[in-house]
A and B are shown apart, each in its own frame.
Chain A
Amino acid sequence: MKTCLVVDDSKVIRKVARHILETLAFEVREACDGREALDACRVAVPDVVLLDWNMPVMSGMDFLRALRDADLPSRPKVVFCTTENGMAYIRAAIEAGADEYVMKPFDRETLESKLQIVGLA
């Protein structure tokens, strides 16, 4: 089964994302911030990380940089999923190693389409 780590400080968003991802046959794990997410990746590397930008403790960007520097057995895809929808943010995320970018609000088609683009749906 494909695995997705949903990283978002909003419980509602995590729930919505989990629901959509499960219908797309993903096994879903959740983390509330970048620090928790990094720990989760050290335990088991997911196929894809769905990543919020603004979170307490460790932001999505700080997580992404740490993830790309970390010595992990595989390289998970990272799909940013955030309300930051300006081109400058998008460019910064891609330069830091994100593979795709979802602008909130999103729906099932959007998420499915982006997962297809990174080769996972």
Chain B
Amino acid sequence: MASSATSSVSSNAAAVLGALLEARTGQQLASYRSWRLDTALIPLLRERGLDTLDQLVALLLSGRDPGIGDRIVDALVNGESSFFRDSAVFDQLVEAVAEHEAAGHRVRLWSAGCATGQEPLSLAMIFAERQADQGAAMPEIVASDVSEQALARARAGRFTQFEIQRGLPIRRMMRWFEGDGGDWQARPDLVRLIQFRRQNLVADRAPPGRFDLILCRNVLIYLSPATKARVFETLAQALRPGGTLVLGAGETVIGHSDAFEPCRRFRGFYRRVGGEEKLAAA
């Protein structure tokens, strides 16, 4: 079913690059639109002085350029994000966090697959404002991604004019960002509220300690069902019993994991079922 748009990509190169991406991240290239290969890799080809994807694949297979695999993966993962994406989720999340806080400990949040940082920064803004306005405790926020390049951008907290205008209310932008000749820079005291770390959901352990709430939104869509089931297992292990998992709009655990049940109060939120006994037995 080769489309004309993919004619410049040899099927061999596409197969190798697809296999690399799936091996590293679980993401299946077949589900992406195939033109992405070409367009997504052009900057990397230029940087390495190459003309074709076949040459890139040859370089990858030669082993002469150890960093090239990561760079290909960085270029191929879908890193689309925005501030306060699906904004209703954040209103619900504040309530869910308040419920977890009622248990009396400092709440821990994990943004798994945080891309360029808009999701954890949205969390940081909400809870820093809540702290300033109501004196409420600041939850711990951990944010991770498989892409080092995305993480570097997230840590830097710099956004283009287009990025900063997606979903971020202007008053929040005024409060938390500084204009910097075109780009917008998050204030250091905001970025400091987030612990960034590289973590591959299909290969690595979860960050240490148990979380009260995990956001894993728009990350698992392109995973095979078997890989998805494994990731849900990792996420379940990382949650406290009764902890909350938040998926992207249109994503579900149903049919992939029985460690969660839909929250009655919040749409799109799932509750970790099974108590310590189940975990202890595992």
| Chain B binds chain A | yes
Q: Does B82 contact A (CB under 8 A)?
A: yes
Q: Does B224 contact A (CB under 8 A)?
A: no
Tell me what chain A mostly uses at the interface: helix, strand, loop, or mixed: helix
**Which chain B residues border A100 with CB–CB below 8 Å?**
169-170
Interface residues on A, range: 10 to 19
Q: How many A-B residue pairs have CB under 8 A?
A: 36
**Which chain A residues border B166 with CB–CB below 8 Å?**
109-110, 113
Q: Does B188 contact A (CB under 8 A)?
A: no
* B82-A90 in contact (CB<8A): no
6 A-B pairs within 8 Å (CB atoms) are namely A85-B179, A90-B173, A94-B170, A100-B169, A101-B170, A110-B166
* A86-B174 in contact (CB<8A): no
Interface string of B81-106 (1 = CB under 8 A from A): 01000010000000000000000000
Instruction: Name B residues whose Cβ lies closer than 8 Å to a Cβ of A.
Output: 82, 87, 161-162, 165-167, 169-171, 173-174, 178-179
* A113-B161 in contact (CB<8A): no
**Which chain B residues border A86 with CB–CB below 8 Å?**
179
- Top 10 closest pairs, chain A to chain B, by CB: A101-B170, A110-B165, A87-B179, A117-B169, A113-B166, A113-B167, A100-B170, A103-B161, A109-B166, A86-B179
Q: Does A107 contact B (CB under 8 A)?
A: yes
**Which chain B residues border A113 with CB–CB below 8 Å?**
82, 165-167
Q: Does A4 contact B (CB under 8 A)?
A: no
